[in-house]
A and B are shown apart, each in its own frame.
Chain A
């Protein structure tokens, strides 16, 4: 991108001033002024995030559960587009600044900071920009403006995606229950250690238990919290489900019975349990965890509750102002890291069922913006043609032996392309399951496969493979409905989600 020098300098200064404003107690947010201030404004916003859910994840889950001609719930939302997800290097400036240094592949922390605070930051950063300056989050802005707020995840609630809305940390590993220099400080950024009273090196669990940013907090991570956190939550009026002091996890029964303005429920000491494991072990303690759709439904019920006649919110306003709710399907990413296609697909289904619940509410309500997207793709998930094989299974890499041909100089040719019997010993969820070195695909039956075709068989219609065990830089899909959703048509950057939601909630202009 080229700009006249003066405009570039001006942009730099504006952003610097905005950062200064943040430090001095004001927020600066630049956004093109809208001719119609009420366009795109909603009473409620429900933001659903499938962690690690790339374009192919969505397609594969559609084929698996609804068939090639079917649709996931998220795919029925009226506005659809793509989101770019790149991060920046530590100490980088923002896009357009002279010291802007992008990193094509984000992690969940940098991505969460992008949509929650509208800034690009480095991987591992939460609620701080790439130079370590704390920036306000959308959930903080919404809360302070009188909205009710909720944060739901199948991960530990101190994990990057939920934490991106309700903490400020130089390093995502500073989750608690205790501080350590290595997990909380970042000397490459700050030069010398920050005092441990600084929020940016305060364990995320301690922050969440004390900042009141989310009224309803549901997920995992009980092991990150301690008795002092429980006392701090109770003092703010939270109903704490289960017991933090005794490390007794809450159950779906506790959740169903929960009432009140502020509810804190953690259902596992770590991340919540994958759906398949709960199904296979119905008498386990983990089977008492609520599913993501159940948590979504309850969070909406709690946040949309009109209250008794005359009941006021904490700001003394009548309590029907609206709400801002974030829902994360975290295990899509965690099972993708593990290249576990079966459980990845099940977690996408659970996430999509949560979308159905959100969308049902939005349709009844008529004034709710629903956004469904992802933070990044994970593991280079791909659908390959039945019976074919990937480069990872091939005996010869695809060397570009034709590079001297100026008419055809980019076409790799492979004189002897063959499956390597040592690298590809069968379908990984079938005949090749016992071989740890096997690069074979996983296969799944689809609704249109003939009766009797099973998962893991060569006859199954859906063949899936992974590139790696890590995140990729691919754009992710976004689906949206409700007021302002048309802004998500086409390609947007993840930082634009901040301005779109902020405008919908009238907390930025």
Chain B
């Protein structure tokens, strides 16, 4: 075993002392026993040049959508070929409906439905969202039923917009199946 850094050497010695009876070797080697310095094998913990997310996802179509009074329109998202929206209804206070996943019959791990609320002139007043996340170790999300292809959602009009929203746009920025 080749030890090229004091840090690694110290670590191996400590492990050797505490391991005692156990046979433990701690090394990273290169193929064919070359003498190269052991590779640094820590996972890359971040990516230079990748813009970090700054919040929840938005859909560009929300700004352009202009639903008329009582109308519910769908704006484009990355997974529009994997679901259909069903039983949509808007009563001025909340928009309700169901997302039927058409791509797979297995657990829905993550789903987000984004709703934009619009005034009489079709101006976007604000948004809110329905978020589903399957917590695999959370008993309340245990696999009690067959995999659910149909997720029912309700998104309330934010309180500050009460009485002003007359139209709705919906889109799905997040969808993951098992």
Contact = CB atoms under 8 A, between A and B. Distances in A.
A271 B103 contact: yes
Nearest to B42: A25
Interface string B123-151: 00000000111111100000100110000
Interface string B1-29: 10000011001001100111111111111
Given A144-B41, A168-B43, A182 B131 contact: yes
A177 B107 CA distance: 20
Given A107-B178, A509-B27, A198 B173 contact: no
Interface of A: 6-7, 10-11, 13-14, 17-18, 20-33, 37, 89-90, 103, 107-108, 122-124, 127, 134-137, 140-141, 144-147, 168, 171-173, 175, 177-183, 188, 195-199, 202-203, 206-207, 210-211, 223-224, 228, 232, 269-271, 321-322, 334, 337-338, 340, 468-470, 505-509
Contact of B79 (A11, A123, A223, A322): A223
Interface in B141-178: 143, 146-147, 173-174, 176, 178
Nearest to A26: B8
A11 B22 contact: yes
Given A506-B32, A509-B1, 14 more contacts: A10-B20, A27-B28, A144-B40, A180-B112, A180-B174, A183-B133, A202-B46, A211-B47, A269-B81, A334-B104, A468-B143, A469-B143, A508-B27, A508-B29
What 6 A-B pairs come out closest when comparing CB atoms? A179-B53, A173-B110, A338-B105, A183-B110, A178-B57, A123-B136
Contact of A178 (B15, B28, B173): B173
A30 B41 contact: no
Contacts of A180: 56-57, 110, 112, 131, 173-174
Given A10-B18, A145-B30, A206 B174 contact: no
A124 B25 contact: no
A211 B159 CA distance: 44
Contact of A22 (B18, B29, B42, B137): B42
B99 to A, nearest CB: 15
B158 to A, nearest CB: 18
Nearest to A168: B43
B147 A337 contact: yes
B26 A322 contact: no
16 contacts: A10-B21, A26-B28, A26-B40, A122-B137, A123-B137, A136-B41, A144-B39, A178-B53, A178-B173, A183-B110, A210-B49, A269-B81, A338-B106, A507-B29, A507-B31, A509-B25
B41 A27 contact: yes
Nearest to B5: A26
Nearest to A178: B57
Contacts of A181: 56
A136 B42 CA distance: 6
B28 A508 contact: yes
Contacts of B19: 10, 14, 30
Contacts of A322: 31
Nearest to A4: B21
Contacts of B135: 188
A107 B44 CA distance: 25
Interface of B: 1, 7-8, 11, 14-15, 18-33, 38-47, 49-54, 56-57, 78-79, 81-82, 103-107, 109-110, 112, 131-137, 143, 146-147, 173-174, 176, 178
A44 to B, nearest CB: 11
A270 to B, nearest CB: 5
Contact of B53 (A14, A25, A196): A196
Contact of B143 (A18, A33, A470): A470
A358 B40 CA distance: 31
A146 B30 contact: yes
Which interface residue of A23, A27, A269, A507 has the most chain B CB atoms within 10 A?
Answer: A27
Given A90-B137, A180-B173, A210-B47, A23 B15 contact: no
Given A27-B41, A198-B45, A223-B78, A124 B136 contact: yes
A183 B176 contact: yes
A165 to B, nearest CB: 12
Contacts of A337: 104-107, 147, 178
Contact of A197 (B52, B81, B112, B137): B52
B174 A178 contact: yes
Contacts of A6: 20
Nearest to B143: A470
Contact of B44 (A123, A196, A211, A334): A211
Contacts of B29: 145, 506-509
Given A10-B19, A173-B110, A509-B25, A26 B41 contact: yes
A28 B26 contact: yes
Contacts of B136: 107, 122-124
Contacts of B49: 210, 232
B105 A30 contact: no
A173 B11 contact: no
Contacts of A32: 23
A28 B81 contact: no
A172 B18 contact: no
B42 A30 contact: no
A141 B28 contact: yes
Nearest to A137: B43
Contact of B24 (A25, A30, A183): A30
A182 B41 CA distance: 29
B20 to A, nearest CB: 6
Given A334-B106, A337-B178, A507-B29, A270 B47 contact: no
Given A14-B18, A26-B42, A182-B112, A177 B137 contact: no
Given A27-B28, A107-B178, A338-B105, A173 B134 contact: yes
A374 B49 CA distance: 37
